[in-house]
Chains A and B, each alone.
Chain A
């Protein structure tokens, strides 16, 4: 898969389980939020993760930067295996990977001024030489995300959602990370503001040579910003591929259903909607075999028994589905 490309982050078989009380007294069941996910992110790309709510996409993002402790699996960031790091060992790593959170109202401390919020990462990692340097850098960051100097002394409640998200982005940028995990950064915003924030993120990506992992449930947002896209269902990827190939030629029945649900801004256009039946099964007790088989329109017998492996269908397009088992010989990587 590597193709000699520069791999910034590789995640192998990541599992994040939450223990819950079992049905019988004394037993423990696990909610399998992320269940053995592997993928790689190349330096300089935008890797989009889409899926319906509850599929584990946010948990995956949080697991990478250890906000959730992964139950198992390996995370290699920039050649450094960080999977067994404790909080103290993670501290220098956090300069490389930062997060932008979904809810800009909750992610900023209401009792701190914008200046203090953006200065905090600089103070934690001792990145500023003195007070003057700190001030210059904070104001520079504010300007970079499209805010003004005089905003520095204000408090989060005085800003709109879009402005707050800009503050959140400035805070993430302060440590000059190489990877930013954006956990639904625009889903709490108006559509017009979404575009502004997405454009800002694109522009900052070029300026600071950033790599993004962009988690979202909105397919068109992901299409707009991503280079490669992974589609998640119930804790696993079902399809990973570059944007063009995945959007023009979706292979997995789930991806097909998902894409067919995107509204087309043309009232006369006819489209074939694949309507899925039923709800997403509980991650507490996921179906055996392929997790999608309970809702899959093309379900076969083998799907109910055996979980599909990863099949390569084209150079940069992988699918986890038995339908592609024999179509491409030796495509199994």
Chain B
């Protein structure tokens, strides 16, 4: 018994020896089973995005008029659509599009928003006022309406959806990073860095930005989920991806006509969107708890 305790404490010491903020975060993250499951699912989606099309049993545009609108079977796991195309193949091929749209749009939004937020929060004054008023204006629109407006101006297509989604995810990041910057700017360690003679760029990128990174990561994860949803909605409304792209929103829109007779045409694309967005949200929640220094276990 005593020996066991000793061994346990030795192990503890060994572990505490390398207690970087990152290792601490991983330790806290592992405790949250939901988030770990969500992360595994997202990694699976990423795998599908790379290899899904190659692994699919049928080509995405392989028409088969002898078997249209068939329910799930051993040949067609998710059934077929109105042209006899295999839904399972189309859905796993569509993973790539949804993930790419979500990640690229949010990355652009996060980078722009972070830079704007840092500048506004650090320099205040007129720059800050201009940035924040623009953000307020963008915030005043519901996200989807704004995206529709932008796509209406630029024309439909998946590339323009990315632009639209990045525009409306920018102000969220700008506001978030500005808030952190305002708080950290007055912290004693930033004053200390200033007192050492650190340049503004050094203070912004070595001291303030790392302090905002946890919030940015959490917001990023959450935003990817909602961006995928928005992009699918735009495709559903016919403003995003155009047929015959196997985009999930578009699959849903096609299946809508046959919902009464062939439920699988809407059920499976809907499930794909639902599970993807849900797992990004759960992952975001998990990361938030793991990164929050105030939540001690």
State the A residues within 8 Å of B (CB).
65, 67, 90-92, 94-95, 98-99, 101, 103, 106-113, 120-121, 124-125, 154-155, 158, 168, 171, 175
Query: In the complex the two chains form, is B19's CB within 8 Å of A158's CB?
Result: yes
In B172-214, the 8 Å CB interface with A consists of 187-189, 191-199, 202, 206-207, 210-211
> A90 vs B200: C-alpha distance in the bound complex, in angstroms?
13
> A124 vs B20: C-alpha distance in the bound complex, in angstroms?
24
Note all chain A residues with C-beta closer than 8 A to B191: 67, 101, 107
Query: In the complex the two chains form, is B21's CB within 8 Å of A67's CB?
Result: no
Residue picked from B195, B198, B210, most chain A C-beta under 10 Å: B195
> A113 vs B21: C-alpha distance in the bound complex, in angstroms?
10
> A197 vs B120: C-alpha distance in the bound complex, in angstroms?
40
Query: In the complex the two chains form, is B21's CB within 8 Å of A171's CB?
Result: no
Note all chain B residues with C-beta closer than 8 A to A67: 191, 194-195
> A92 vs B20: C-alpha distance in the bound complex, in angstroms?
33
Given A111-B21, A111-B211, A155-B19, answer yes or no on A124-B188 (Cβ-Cβ < 8 Å): no
Note all chain B residues with C-beta closer than 8 A to A171: 192, 196
- From B21, B188, B197, B210, contact of A107 by CB (8 A): B188
A-B contact pairs, 8 of them (CB 8 A): A94-B195, A98-B196, A107-B192, A109-B193, A121-B196, A124-B199, A154-B19, A171-B196
> A120 vs B206: C-alpha distance in the bound complex, in angstroms?
10
With A106-B187, A110-B21, A168-B192 known, 13 other A-B pairs at CB within 8 A are A94-B196, A98-B196, A101-B191, A103-B188, A107-B189, A108-B189, A110-B293, A111-B21, A154-B19, A155-B19, A155-B20, A155-B21, A171-B192
Q: Which applies to chain A's interface (DSSP): helix, strand, loop or mixed?
A: loop
Note all chain A residues with C-beta closer than 8 A to B293: 110
Note all chain B residues with C-beta closer than 8 A to A98: 195-196
Note all chain B residues with C-beta closer than 8 A to A65: 195
Query: In the complex the two chains form, is A124's CB within 8 Å of B211's CB?
Result: no
Note all chain B residues with C-beta closer than 8 A to A175: 196
Closest beta carbon of chain B to A215's beta carbon, Å:
14
Note all chain B residues with C-beta closer than 8 A to A124: 196-199, 202
Given A99-B192, A171-B192, answer yes or no on A90-B21 (Cβ-Cβ < 8 Å): no
> A109 vs B206: C-alpha distance in the bound complex, in angstroms?
10
> A109 vs B202: C-alpha distance in the bound complex, in angstroms?
13
Note all chain A residues with C-beta closer than 8 A to B206: 112, 120
Query: In the complex the two chains form, is A109's CB within 8 Å of B207's CB?
Result: yes
In B201-239, the 8 Å CB interface with A consists of 202, 206-207, 210-211
Closest beta carbon of chain B to A295's beta carbon, Å:
32
Note all chain B residues with C-beta closer than 8 A to A111: 21, 210-211
> A103 vs B191: C-alpha distance in the bound complex, in angstroms?
12
> A103 vs B187: C-alpha distance in the bound complex, in angstroms?
11
> A219 vs B197: C-alpha distance in the bound complex, in angstroms?
32
A-B complex: 7 closest residue pairs judged by Cβ atoms: A94-B197, A106-B188, A91-B197, A109-B189, A107-B188, A121-B196, A111-B210
Chain B interface extent, by class: 20 to 34
Note all chain B residues with C-beta closer than 8 A to A92: 197
> A91 vs B200: C-alpha distance in the bound complex, in angstroms?
12
Note all chain B residues with C-beta closer than 8 A to A106: 187-189
> A155 vs B293: C-alpha distance in the bound complex, in angstroms?
14
Closest beta carbon of chain A to B24's beta carbon, Å:
9
Closest beta carbon of chain A to B3's beta carbon, Å:
28
> A91 vs B206: C-alpha distance in the bound complex, in angstroms?
18
> A112 vs B210: C-alpha distance in the bound complex, in angstroms?
9
Closest beta carbon of chain B to A64's beta carbon, Å:
11
Closest beta carbon of chain B to A242's beta carbon, Å:
29
> A158 vs B35: C-alpha distance in the bound complex, in angstroms?
28
Closest beta carbon of chain B to A174's beta carbon, Å:
8
> A107 vs B206: C-alpha distance in the bound complex, in angstroms?
15
Residue of B nearest to A62 (CB): B191
Note all chain A residues with C-beta closer than 8 A to B194: 67
- From B197, B199, B210, contact of A121 by CB (8 A): B197
Closest beta carbon of chain A to B166's beta carbon, Å:
28
> A65 vs B199: C-alpha distance in the bound complex, in angstroms?
16
Closest beta carbon of chain B to A106's beta carbon, Å:
4
Closest beta carbon of chain A to B62's beta carbon, Å:
53
Given A109-B207, A111-B211, answer yes or no on A95-B19 (Cβ-Cβ < 8 Å): no
Closest beta carbon of chain A to B186's beta carbon, Å:
10
Closest beta carbon of chain B to A93's beta carbon, Å:
8
Closest beta carbon of chain A to B234's beta carbon, Å:
38
Query: In the complex the two chains form, is B195's CB within 8 Å of A99's CB?
Result: yes
Note all chain B residues with C-beta closer than 8 A to A154: 19
> A90 vs B195: C-alpha distance in the bound complex, in angstroms?
9
Residue of A nearest to B210 (CB): A111
Residue of A nearest to B184 (CB): A109
Note all chain A residues with C-beta closer than 8 A to B211: 109, 111
Closest beta carbon of chain A to B25's beta carbon, Å:
11
Residue of B nearest to A106 (CB): B188
> A257 vs B192: C-alpha distance in the bound complex, in angstroms?
35
Query: In the complex the two chains form, is A101's CB within 8 Å of B196's CB?
Result: no
Note all chain A residues with C-beta closer than 8 A to B20: 113, 155
Note all chain A residues with C-beta closer than 8 A to B210: 109, 111
Note all chain B residues with C-beta closer than 8 A to A113: 20
Note all chain A residues with C-beta closer than 8 A to B198: 120, 124
- From B19, B187, B196, contact of A120 by CB (8 A): B196
> A65 vs B192: C-alpha distance in the bound complex, in angstroms?
11
Given A106-B188, A106-B189, A107-B188, answer yes or no on A95-B21 (Cβ-Cβ < 8 Å): no
> A103 vs B188: C-alpha distance in the bound complex, in angstroms?
8
Closest beta carbon of chain A to B267's beta carbon, Å:
46
> A177 vs B21: C-alpha distance in the bound complex, in angstroms?
32
Note all chain B residues with C-beta closer than 8 A to A107: 188-189, 191-192
> A90 vs B207: C-alpha distance in the bound complex, in angstroms?
20
